[in-house]
Amino acid sequence: MESTEIRRLIALEDTHWWYRERRAILRRELRGLGRPGRALDVGAAGGGNTRVLVEAGWDATATDNCETAVEMARKRGLKAVRADARALPFEPGSVDLVTAFDVLEHIREDHLVAEEIARVLAPGGHALIAVPCDMALWSAHDDAVGHVRRYARESLTVVVERAGLEVDHVWSWNVLLRPLVVRHRRRSQGSDLRKTPLLVNAGLSAIVRAERYLPVKSLKGVTLFLRARLVSGKRR
């Protein structure tokens, strides 16, 4: 992401329905991972998800290849380092959790990112990954924010498993709003990172929160989430 998009994201993420619900998903996932340890938030932008990790008791470090993102994360009181996701400056087996939300789709060599995630994880460590799904949803938004691809369940799983990680679960998110997104993206002329009117934001928040309680995670959505772990003896 370019500096302009990073600044736009940071200005939106505390109130925007999309980012608020993704942080809620992260919180729920963290509760199932056991005792907090050392965490790495790859492609952290301004550190919105890193803050969730810290609040949950993790010793978290934000990384991003954009200096603006690193500076903003540090201003928020977070540990942050500038780093290419394909060559993370961390020792093998040194972290217990890696989060990478909206990272793989920006990098042509996504397999290198997955391999780095596996490399820095300690045996038994977990990875939480989120990517945009379905090339049928490709639009001017993807071009504007620097996407290289959108994923299918199979393509995402293959990249992660070839890196030496064992996939625990893959699920769809933003299923209920997919028809609206399809319609919107067909008319899209650029990035969707913009402020949403208050009432619209509240309505979209209510719809996407409903997915917490409905059996829709196996259907097509707008985003794919994946949880994986490094099993002892399976490191590449």
CATH number at residue 63: 3.40.50.150
Report the pLDDT value the prediction gives residue 71, as an integer from 0 to 100.
Answer: 92
Tell me how many domains the chain contains. Answer: 1
Q: Is residue 65 part of a domain?
A: yes
Enclosing domain of residue 94: 3-229
**pLDDT (0 to 100) of residue 103:** 96
In a domain, 142, yes or no: yes
Is residue 152 in some structural domain?
yes
Q: Is residue 95 part of a domain?
A: yes
Burial (Cβ within 10 Å: 0-12, 13-18, ≥19) of residue 59: middle
Does the residue 99 lie in any domain? yes
Average pLDDT, consecutive stretches of 10 residues, N- to C-terminus, the chain (236 residues): 71 87 97 95 94 98 94 94 97 98 96 98 97 93 90 98 98 96 77 80 96 96 97 67
pLDDT at 235: 58
What pTM was estimated for this model as a whole?
A: 0.92
For residue 192, the model assigns a pLDDT of 66
**What's the confidence (pLDDT) of residue 116?**
98
Q: Which of 129, 134, 217, 130 lies closest to 165 in space, CA to CA?
A: 129
Flag whether 236 is in a domain.
Answer: no
Could you give the CA distance from residue 182 to residue 220 in angstroms, rounded to a whole number? Answer: 12
Q: Is residue 204 part of a domain?
A: yes
Asked whether residue 235 is domain-assigned, the answer is no
